[in-house]
Chains A and B, each alone.
Chain A
Amino acid sequence: VTRVATEHRLGPLDAIPVGEGRAYAVDGVQVAVFRLRSGALHATQALCPHRQGPLADGQLDERVVLCPLHAAVFELATGESSSGHGTLTVYPVREQDGDVLLSLDGG
């Protein structure tokens, strides 16, 4: 992971299959990055606040991710839960030249 301004380069976008999430360790922080079918990218904290499920393994659509352990529901864009399981930290994430760039600040 190299630092570009305040952004971290997480490696190739192709490492995340379309419609799935993958987890990364970014400067000691665990982050889940989701690549939606529309092409949009979202990043959230990797652990579900309910019982620490791995959100990168969750099912997702264009709007929400479901935790694989107990189906807690979170909005990908805001981190808010529509199932009453708290709010996820979300991080700005974008693609540049085929790589995923993520910022831990301003999340």
Chain B
Amino acid sequence: VPLVKLTGGQRIDLLGIRKEDLPAVWADLDMPSGYAYGKSFRTVKTCVGSDFCRFGVGDSTALGIALEERYQGIPSPGKMKLAVAGCPRNCSEALCKDLGVVAVDGGRWEVYVGGAAGAHVRKGDLLATLDDPDEVVALAGRFMQYYRESAKWLERTYDFVPRVGIEHLRAVLREDSEGLLDGLDARMQASVDAYVDPWSEGRAPATPGQFRPSLPLTVLPQVPVR
């Protein structure tokens, strides 16, 4: 493995492995995929939360794990990067994620959508303030499903949210102004139920030659070994 990196999304990057070696590497690791490559639900970054931080007002780690376990690997028009912060100090950068959750005083949770901190930088818009972590998980699913069904291909939430407007999203996702919520919940549940870890394809390739070299006469990847 030419390069190991610990990423901002709390993954472990193993970089520069040849395509044809991937099944063996995945078998050795015996870990789930981190989706670093996908137009999909990525990771839920968290701060340490109320257990270990003197400023923490909510258990951000537990909520982050709950979100990630439920929605792992869900495909979407663009990347969906999430975070949960245990207080408004933003250590997990929840204010500039596609969907960010921030614990506030009184055991409540603010849900921000449409944030970004890449080539485009944008603070998320406040979608709702909720009392219960379970409500956060449900609203996150509704927002992501609405985005999956309504956004253009490769349109990130930082373009999608301003295009449709945060007031429209509040109406649709909080007041059910268009009667969509039951359908959104059901279709997201179907996606969650259909989830299979993609790295299991290393054991039985999904298609013939899935792990064949992409360029038979070229040694790939062409990277220096540090």
Contacts and interface: CB of A to CB of B under 8 A. Distances in A.
Contact of B214 (A15, A16, A23): A23
Contacts of A22: 209, 212
Contact of A15 (B209, B213, B215, B218): B209
Interface residues of A, number: 16
A36 to B, nearest CB: 15
B207 A17 contact: yes
A16 B218 CA distance: 20
A17 B208 contact: yes
Chain B binding surface, main DSSP class: loop
Contacts of A54: 214-215, 220
Nearest to B222: A52
B209 A30 contact: no
B217 interface: yes
A25 B216 contact: yes
A57 B215 CA distance: 10
Interface of B: 207-209, 212-218, 220
10 closest pairs, A vs B, by CB?
A54-B214, A17-B207, A25-B216, A57-B214, A25-B217, A54-B215, A30-B217, A15-B208, A30-B215, A46-B215
